[in-house]
Amino acid sequence: MTSSTPEQPAAVAARLRATFRTGRTKPLEWRTDQLRQLRAMLTEHGPDFAAALRADLGKGEAEAYRTEIDFTLREIDHTLSHLEEWLRPEPAPVPPHLDGAEAWTVYDPLGVVLVIAPWNYPLQLLLAPMVGALASGNCVVAKPSELAPATSAAVARLLPRFLDTDAVAVVEGAVPETTALLEQRFDHIFYTGNGTVGRIVMNAAAKHLTPVTLELGGKSPAFVDRGTDPDAVAARLVAGKFLNAGQTCVAPDYVLTDPETAARLEPALARAVTALFGDDPAAAPNYGRIINERHFDRLTGLLGSGRTVAGGTHDRDRKYIAPTVLGGVAPDAPVMGEEIFGPILPIVEVADLDEAIDFINDRDKPLALYAFTESAQTRRRLTGETSSGGLGFGLPVAHLTVSDLPFGGVGESGMGRYHGRYSIETFSHRKAVLSKPLA
């Protein structure tokens, strides 16, 4: 369904609410059928979605499958395997003054859920939240990103062929359509994107006391300890940072390390870029493009923030920016003023772990914090003395692929969590039930 007037989102929301009130979406059979149908869509039309992701972001086929299509399939399969178990009533102990009573909790679907997706992973970050919303027995309004038009069109074309159109609708469009959607009363709004729009979403939700999940971003640091293997660290940093041309919310945003380690790490990072993307990353099939000219111009404006260690070249016509590493970056350099969300990796030098922890804690809480260290004490300190949405030792980005781990931010990097069982908690109300016989 394509939105063309401000009235249509209201009609869509009303139609789905009428469906929910019939109880149609509550049975386990309906939920599992929708998940299987979603799986069938991705399996049968994977090439269509891969082509759309190539058109929008220059993603190679392997990356499109790994980070978007197969990622979502794993989330579906994990949910199907455990859903009946997750939904079982959970007994609760009863105090002595209620002797003879029984108590338990059940998960109730919330109702009609709005999912607003971003452009950087426009398929995964639309469908993965929908997996949890459908598994929880909700109706869903899906709003794909207009900045990824090929993917949005593919979703709008294919989703109604597979899912229950009385319970699931796609609304395409830009700011006017999103604004019209946010004027409606939903039972939960799930938004992935930036903090500026996140505040708009939260303000709109407040008018109806609608709960929200905000999956935002932030500058995710990577601390590199003394004595680590620079080549091993560099290979993992480069793979995590330059995935999707750096347009990943949990990508390492910058590196914190001491001057001696920085001197060893810089050439290792340059070698790792060449090893992963070749001498000419512009020709590499596994290296994407910047989403549009506005973001390209913003990113190229940050390239002068430090000494170029690797990369630095760019082509506006092709929306190409080479995987770039900057050394000697000052804490107040332009590249450190905002989430980079692109293929630029600054190295900021600190004296030691104490200064690194202070540096992290002086700034907004990040969506992720990464550390490369063999020291158990350093790991304990980073775990106990910092706050972040997720914490990864030795490997960036990978924590979000573990379905049994919650994924979400804290503070400026977001609120709420999802994936696996945590999605059921997000898109359900855990209702308390007590029963005491009359005699």
* CA pair distance 234, 262, nearest whole angstrom: 11
Rounded to 5°, angle at Cα 88 from 85 and 93: 125
Residues 111/117/122/125 CA torsion (nearest 10 deg): -60
Reply yes or no on whether 90 is catalytic: no
Instruction: Give strand pairing partners of 351.
Output: none
Phi/psi of residue 149, nearest 5 degrees: -65, -35
What are residue 80's phi and psi, to 5 degrees?
-60, -35
Question: Distance (Å, rounded) from C-alpha 178 to C-alpha 320?
Answer: 29
3-state class (DSSP) for residue 433 = strand
Nearest residue to 431 (alpha-carbon basis) of 110, 188, 112, 22: 110
| Spatial CA neighbour of 172 closest among 158, 185, 188, 161 | 158
Residues 346, 272, 394: CA angle, nearest 5 degrees: 75
Candidates 63, 215, 412, 425; catalytic one: 215
- The tokens describing 421, both together, are 């069982």
DSSP string over 301-331: TTGGGSEEEE---EETTTTEE--EEEES--T
For the chain, helix (H) and strand (E) counts, in that order, are 15, 18
- In a 13 Å sphere around the CA of 101, the CA atoms on its Cβ side amount to 14
Q: How far apart are CA 132 and CA 386, in angstroms?
A: 29
Check 139, 249, 339, 425 and give the catalytic one: 249
Encoded tokens for 111: 């109702």
Decide if 223 contacts 308 (C-beta within 8 A).
no
Is residue 254 a contact partner of residue 222, using CB atoms and an 8 Å limit?
yes
Residues in the chain: 439
139 labelled catalytic: no
Pick from 218, 252, 254: nearest CA to 330? 254
Residue 290 vs residues 57, 86, 244: alpha-carbon distances, Å: 7, 40, 9
As annotated, the active-site residues are 215, 249
